[in-house]
Chains A and B, each alone.
Chain A
Amino acid sequence: MTSWDEKVGGEPADYGNAVLSANGSYTILPEPVKTFLCNFEAAIRNRNVYDIIQCYEAQFPKLTERFFAKYNWPATQVVTEIVSRSLGGKEPDQLFVILYTEMYYKHIYAHIAGGPSFEDREASYFNYCDFFNFVLGTDTPVTHELPYQLLWDIIDEFIYQFQNFTQYRAKLKNKKDEEISTLRDSVTTWNIHSVLNVLHSLVEKSCINEQLRELASGGDISAVAGEFGERQLYKMLGFFSLIGLCRLHCILGDFFQALKVLENIDVSRLDLYCNVPTCNITTSYYVGFSFMMMRRYEDAIRTLNDALAYHNRVKSSLAGRPDVADYVAKQTDQMCHLLCLCLSLHPMRVDEIVHAQIKEKYNEKNLKLSRMDLDEIANTFQYACPKFLSPVPPNFDLPENYQMNPMRQIKEEFISEIKQQARIPDIRSYLKLYTTLSIEKLAGLMNTEPQVLHRELMCYKHKMQNIVTADAAAAAAAEAPTASSSELDFYIDGDMIHVADTKVARKFGELFIRNILKLEDVNRALTRLDQFIYGVAAGEAGPQAGSARS
């Protein structure tokens, strides 16, 4: 065990003399880091949520950037010793040890060149098991309180590391034989059943679904919450686990289940449930994607549109968190791509600002998509889709790279769906030009037989029918209401096509009213300014003026 010189501290410049050990960590620990560790432990032990937020969101990233940009944070045993010494020999809070370890491994995944080794991955997995056992393994709920952002990050990172491990396990081509045999033998590490079990256990323990149902119907939540569920820690872990399940089902290709687990949540009003921007954005991404795969284009467009508008609103508050900024930017970009894809399949009106953003950045892409350029569609899909996984281990006897297979499988299916819709944009563009049009004429324009055209028109109608119900369960029922909300609609009367287009006149009213009120404000400000300037001058001349008058 390394012994630590507690008198040494100082700025990075002093560390020119510091000795780096084999794994690149400092043998002399900087003072600010020690202070941070003790403060963090105290905050957790004292259930001081505000201090925990300060440590976790502000100090940890700063210290990482300053001292550990390329190196590991100190190992857990070392940290435990330091904190224990500062507490006069007492054991540090157990939850602190677990959380610190989680942050230690998260840092390796995010910042260390080469990423985590197999041992790192396994140790991180066991640490998560410790965390979930700590929270779930008791008869009475734990009394700790943690900030929502931290809880969401734990669930998010847990699933991310699972995803990462599965991809790593599937890349067999360049691995050494001993590595492959280690993977083959480690059946329980990052086993998908364990991951599912954890998430479902959290959902059950917190009675979150019952609570959400009561919330939706305006009933009394505390009546159904149960002993664990009424504590914020469990309630929010339950809620975030639902989102985690949605994500998990989505990356396994089960889009129906992805939406079903969120059936008690109103996805369009996520900010009602919690104020964690990264959670809201991630949820909207997976929900929007699932809608698109279920051919519910209208719902997909609405979800993605709302998410992008929401992101515009919270962009400034996220600026203070550089560790999540990249991740959020990438996901938002993916959502833009998905939105472009959906809009090319099902043109619809969207938010003005979002529409302007897309037009600015992706004009060329949109042109290609609307022309059903299959390569462009495939590329857009590949960029925007989540990293799909297979739930089973790969064939260890045949060392190939299998990690792309699930994605290719889903992409292939998606493209074949698109191919079925290939003629629709052409039909749409011709129909836009007419109010009535004979089947023969359109067939001529499109270079097909009238009989084929009848079929293609029916296909158009069939594909553009969306299920219009917010309730996922009802949507699965045989009699779910469907409707087409395309702005362009038509019907066939014998041999004549009648086209109906919706023209929306430009709106001036709101713009004028807004500017009138603005001008009024400016005028008032000017008048006040006027009074201020001349009022002071009058004040200076005041005594004379006053005396003159008197």
Chain B
Amino acid sequence: MKNYLKKHLPYIYNSRYNPGNIEHLEKYIELQVTENVYDCEANLAVLKLYQFNPSHYQTNVTIKILLKAIANLPHPDFSLCKYLIEPDKLREEPLSSVVALGNQLETCDFEEFWQNLASTKSSIPAIGSVMGFTDSVRKFICHVVGISYQKIKTDQLCRILDIKRDQLAVYLEEYGWKLVPDDPSHVFVFNYEETIKTRNISEKIGFPQVKQLAPVLQNAASDCHKRAK
């Protein structure tokens, strides 16, 4: 196979489609997991190689790819990965649990997610091995809160982030949020009152547009004068 590729399909031999590269890429994914870095394109390339060479498919690697994609929400990487994986595999354990976690985040069902994570972690050790997974998830949750709320209940915030009240200060610092001065049961997120307002876009007719009419108006004006005389 290797020699056939090298001789007849040089581009394939030298590129991302060469199944000989699968091992290297799998090592790269392991690196991403332990060093908390992310390379979407490389991960999709591995899924594509699995698609082209089903005999090389590895469940463990696929789980890690999906977890890294989930950690990169709000980007649609998770959906993109699912399109490249066979539905039978997605429906069975262990992938189905990982997919369920991803779906819970996509529908913003955060409290369910934390409960589910705790119980899934024991059955899928890979989840625990992904460095910075929970941090990335919390980052995503804060992003969603940031775009949706001007003011949110502190209890609610702690629940969806799965943190204790005393850990909240770190997140407030990170995102520039503040506890409402007279009302510590609410956190002030962002002043949307200024930015999200009803707009009435009315028409403005500018001079350049009217300029086109200048000769017409001139003729009309002189006609009027003639008739007036």
Contacts and interface: CB of A to CB of B under 8 A. Distances in A.
Given A200-B15, A293-B83, A517-B213, A505 B151 contact: no
B137 to A, nearest CB: 13
Interface in A460-491: 461-462, 465, 467, 476, 478, 480, 482, 484, 489-491
Contacts of A194: 8-9
A476 B41 contact: yes
A462 B196 contact: no
Interface string B128-149: 0000000000000000110111
B76 interface: yes
A257 interface: yes
B87 interface: yes
A492 B51 contact: no
A510 interface: yes
B22 to A, nearest CB: 15
A489 B196 contact: yes
A45 interface: no
B153 interface: yes
A294 interface: yes
For chain B, the bracket of interface size reads 35 or more
B216 A256 contact: no
B100 to A, nearest CB: 12
Given A197-B11, A197-B12, A410 B209 contact: no
Interface in A246-271: 252-257, 260
B107 A420 contact: yes
Nearest to B190: A491
Contact of A492 (B15, B75, B152, B199): B152
A413 interface: yes
A287 to B, nearest CB: 16
A455 B86 contact: no
B86 A417 contact: no
A144 to B, nearest CB: 23
B171 interface: no
Interface string B46-80: 00100111100000000000000000101110011
Contacts of B216: 516-517, 520
A410 B103 CA distance: 16
A311 interface: no
Given A200-B15, A409-B86, A513-B209, A503 B75 contact: no
Q: Which 9 residue pairs of A and B lie closest in terms of their CB atoms, listed nearest first?
A: A491-B192, A458-B108, A509-B205, A197-B9, A459-B108, A200-B11, A493-B150, A253-B83, A504-B201
